Structure 1
Amino acid sequence: MTTSIKTNAASRPASPLLLAFTLFLVAINLRPALSGVAPLLAAIRATTGLSATGAGSLTTLPVLCFGAIAPLGPLLARRYSAERTILFGLLVLAVSVVLRVFFGLPGLFAGTFLAGASIGVVMVLLPSIIKRDFSESAGIMTGLYTMGLCLGAAVAAGVAVPIQRLAGGDWRASLAFWALPALLGAVAWGVFGVHGNATPVQKRYRVTGLRASRIAWHVALFMGLQSMLAYCVFGWLPTILIDRGFTPLAAGAALSASIAAQLVTALGGPSLASRGKDQRLVVMVMILLTAAGLMGCMYAPVSQIWFWAVVLGLGQGGSFSVGMMLVVLRSPNSQIVASLSGMTQLVGYLLAAVGPFVAGVMRDATGNWNLAAGFFMVTAVAALLMGIGAGQRLYVQAKVEEVATS
């Protein structure tokens, strides 16, 4: 695996604070295209005739793109720079969000594919920006980046149905709304994120032996399994709650509250992960909170669901942010960080993409959520085992060699 590191002092931003704010603004735009769909699934299915399996495919598609398109990000960055590639990704995201409201089901799926592809490219490049420009505060910036992801997801889930109602019940207007913040993020990134016109000095490194590392696979599989649970929640929690008697508005609000609770552990998770002799205990706590919260939302008395939604959010926010920090903590140098990040996103999101689809198939086959609940618990146990392995205080064993550039 070959990675590229570009450096040029003249191209660095004048204000780290402005860049940090812009990174946060970009992060906010990397989840609404997904979490804003779940509260509208019932309306989408009613007007388009989508089955539960088809709806599961709709929520699975962008997650699949996150992993499948991940290798494209570094290739584009080497040719056009990471900053310009991120700008292009944000512009494509804005266009794809609008595309979903035209041309019926083909447009809905095509726009969803492009949204997932553009987000996947941006997500794989932003950590390299954090590592390069905020090396001394990577933990804080990772927490801020994760918090932006959670905030965008929470707001999108919470306002999806209200926007639909303001538009006279048209779910298409609710989906199209998210083109506006994507354009705002693109403008901000174009002003504060894309900087310098000089040709950067480029060094390329070859990292070998990563796929043979047990620790690398533990990190990748932990991220994938906890992401599988997360995207099952994004895709199906509102439908589960509607089946339990919630209105679509209340179900979307519950998902929004759960995602909002992630802000606490998303920001604090990296700090917790960097303390103590290893990360096994914090991984165990976060996965147990996730499993308990999800089962509470599915089976606890309806009057308690809001409490369990918050518990679920605390667990998932911490699981994700700690998983991101494990990529850094298990890597002995920046070259391996970049390669392990790419491997984690490729393996992790391809695995995570399976979850919503499988849950939808189980719901169609049985007419209830009991089989899916068993699937969720098996996934949680597997994530716990992988997280315990990834949480050991060990480094990924891989070799880094500088290679000649043409």
Structure 2
Amino acid sequence: MVLVALNLRPALSSVSPLLARLQADLALSPAAVGALTTVPVLCLGLFAPLAPRLSHRLGIERALSFALLLLGSALLLRAQHQLFSLFAGTILAGAAIGIGGTLLPVLVKREMPERADLLTGVYTMALCLGGALGAGLSVPLAGLLGGWAPSIAFWALPAAIALIAWRGLVAHLWPQHTADRPRERHPGLSRNALAWQVTVLMGTQSSIAYIVFGWLPVLLLQRGIGEATAGLMLGFSVLTQLVSALAAPWLGRLGRDQRPALVGLLSLAAVGFALAMLGPASLVWPAMVLLGLGLGGTFSLALTLLVLRSATPAIAGQLSGMAQGMGYCIAALGPFAVGLLLDWKVGLAGITVLVLAILAVAMASAILAGRRLQLRVDESSGEITTAPPEYCR
């Protein structure tokens, strides 16, 4: 699972440090550059609901194998000096990541329900490590391999290694479907307030993360920071996410619920981004630390909530599909908005106001989603409902 998770972020983080080269080589318009950062996030949301269906038909192990195969193929397709291949590969990569990222929380709930929050922290740490490697190594790989295309294609290699390991080490059993055992799916989730609170939290915190993935090097260039250094700063910030990603589930256990940890981590992200954009140049590196700690911990806890707020693996699968499907569609609006602001020549101050506004919405939803509640099946109606606190672990 950790090896799979390592491959779910380099496809997203490895492009932004190379945007200037892509724009010059392919004569991309500002709108096309903005679309390149927005499309993969949108695809995460559009294809996430496909994951439960694939899992039902193929089994969760085969569905993850399919996602890895699609991801590796998409990265090779994207690494062509053609505009169509670039966008087609980006769309397919987003689809693969959307499917794989939706299935992992379900697998955690199924395999280790009693330690699900801590295991979520471990694979979230792997996600962050993959993102850091993609951001930090993109420019050096482009110099070593002779251009942006082989730098992007390089990330198909770890995807292939993960696929081989997943196929070789994990049993791929076909799911057993019988007439008296239909697909376990309960109605009422889309009308549940708690499910929407988790979804909005997932969407808004992801929006900030993908603004950072897609635009941070470009924004740092406006501060006069060089291309290679900007890429390293992004990689370093994502690397610091490892610490908080692993520690956040433990922090969430310290209190009665996850609200204090979520509010504290989102505050770190807000201070870090504001300092990075508007603070003194000497504080940009410390700002990367604060930003990384805040985003890594918030993402880890948001994924943990998918498990903690679900009474069964079936509900976890539904909530994961909704929160990541709708959530990533919400998240795509952030990078798109930043692209528009840059196209309109809005400065760093205006972009910072936008990011802080998104973080304020994330904090409000965190206060609601972080309460000690759980989604359960009502025995009388068969619909998903919110259980009172005394029924939660």
| TM-score normalised per structure 1 | 0.89
Aligned equivalent of 1:133 = 111
How far apart are residue 332 of structure 1 and its match? Answer: 3.1
Of residues 103, 126, 138, the one that matches 1:160 is 138
How far apart are residue 346 of structure 1 and its match? Answer: 1.1
Inter-CA distance 110–399: structure 2 relative to 1 (3 Å threshold) = farther
Q: Deviations over 1:345-393 (max 9, x none)?
A: 1111000011111101011102523322211111011111111111122
| Whole-angstrom distance in 2 between the partners of 1:205 and 1:295 | 45
How far apart are residue 396 of structure 1 and its match? Answer: 3.4
Of residues 180, 186, 192, the one that matches 2:169 is 192
How far apart are residue 397 of structure 1 and its match? Answer: 6.2
Inter-CA distance 198–265: structure 2 relative to 1 (3 Å threshold) = closer
Of residues 143, 148, 154, the one that matches 1:177 is 154
Of residues 252, 259, 267, the one that matches 2:238 is 259
Aligned equivalent of 2:279 = 300
| Percent of matched pairs sharing the same residue | 44
Displaced runs of 4 or more, over 3 A: 194-203, 396-402
| Whole-angstrom distance in 1 between the partners of 2:334 and 2:237 | 19
Q: Secondary structure at the match of 2:256?
A: coil
How far apart are residue 196 of structure 1 and its match? Answer: 4.3
1:6-405 alignment runs, 5 A limit: 23-102=1-80, 104-168=82-146, 170-196=147-173, 199=176, 204-396=183-375, 399=378, 401=382
Inter-CA distance 198–77: structure 2 relative to 1 (3 Å threshold) = closer
Q: Is the 8 A contact 1:65 1:116 kept in 2?
A: yes
How far apart are residue 330 of structure 1 and its match? Answer: 2.3
Q: Is the 8 A contact 1:207 1:399 kept in 2?
A: no
Aligned equivalent of 2:388 = none
How far apart are residue 280 of structure 1 and its match? Answer: 1.3
| Whole-angstrom distance in 1 between the partners of 2:192 and 2:172 | 37
Instruction: Pick which of 266-275 and 329-338 moved more.
Output: 329-338
| Whole-angstrom distance in 2 between the partners of 1:195 and 1:121 | 17
| Whole-angstrom distance in 1 between the partners of 2:346 and 2:176 | 59
Q: What letter corresponds to residue 205 of structure 2 in structure 1?
A: Q
Q: Is the 8 A contact 1:262 1:315 kept in 2?
A: yes
Q: Secondary structure at the match of 1:205?
A: coil
| Whole-angstrom distance in 2 between the partners of 1:89 and 1:275 | 36
Q: Secondary structure at the match of 2:184?
A: strand
Q: Deviations over 1:267-319 (max 9, x none)?
A: 11112223311211111101100111011110111121010001000000011
| Whole-angstrom distance in 2 between the partners of 1:30 and 1:332 | 26
Q: Is the 8 A contact 1:209 1:397 kept in 2?
A: no
| Whole-angstrom distance in 2 between the partners of 1:332 and 1:77 | 19
Inter-CA distance 101–84: structure 2 relative to 1 (3 Å threshold) = same
Q: Is the 8 A contact 2:266 2:294 kept in 1?
A: yes
Inter-CA distance 185–119: structure 2 relative to 1 (3 Å threshold) = same
Q: Secondary structure at the match of 2:183?
A: strand
| Whole-angstrom distance in 2 between the partners of 1:195 and 1:331 | 25
Q: Is the 8 A contact 1:265 1:317 kept in 2?
A: yes
Inter-CA distance 102–331: structure 2 relative to 1 (3 Å threshold) = same
Q: Is the 8 A contact 2:203 2:331 kept in 1?
A: yes
Aligned equivalent of 2:391 = none
How far apart are residue 51 of structure 1 and its match? Answer: 2.8
Structure 1 unaligned residues grouped into runs of 5+? 1-22
* Two-structure CA RMSD over aligned residues (Å): 1.7
